[in-house]
Amino acid sequence: MPVHKPIRYAVVGLGHIAQVAVLPAFAHARRNSKLVAVVSNDRTKRRELSKRYRLEHAFPYDQFEDCLNEVDAVYIALPNSMHAEYTVRAAKAGVHVLCEKPMAVTVRECRQMIDACRRAPVKLMIAYRLHFETLNLAAMDLARSGQLGELKFFASSFSMTVRRGDIRTKRKYGGGTLYDIGVYCINAARNLFRAEPTEVSAVSINSGLKSLAEIDETTAATLRFSDEHVATFITSFNAADVAAYRIVGTKGHVHADPAYEYAEGLEYSVTIDGRTRTKRVGKRDQFAPELLYFSDCILNDTQPEPSGEEGLQDVRIVEALYDSARRERPVAIRPFEKRLRPTSKQRISRPGVKKPDLVKVQSASR
Q: Of 101, 179, 262, 293, which residue is the catalytic one?
A: 101
Distance CA 279, CA 263 (A): 18
92 is a catalytic site residue: no
Strand order in the sheet with 275-281: 275-281, 266-272, 252-256, 238-249, 151-161, 230-236, 218-225, 197-205, 331-332
Among the residues of 178-234, which ranges form H helices?
183-193
Strand order in the sheet with 124-127: 57-59, 33-39, 7-12, 73-76, 96-100, 124-127
Q: Of 128, 184, 260, 293, which residue is the catalytic one?
A: 184
With the C-alpha atoms ordered 301, 303, 306, 307, is the resulting torsion angle positive or negative?
A: positive
For the chain, give the number of residues.
366
Asked whether the beta carbons of 178 and 254 are under 8 A apart, the reply is no
Asked whether the beta carbons of 141 and 247 are under 8 A apart, the reply is no
173 is a catalytic site residue: no
**Hey, which residues are catalytic here?**
101, 184
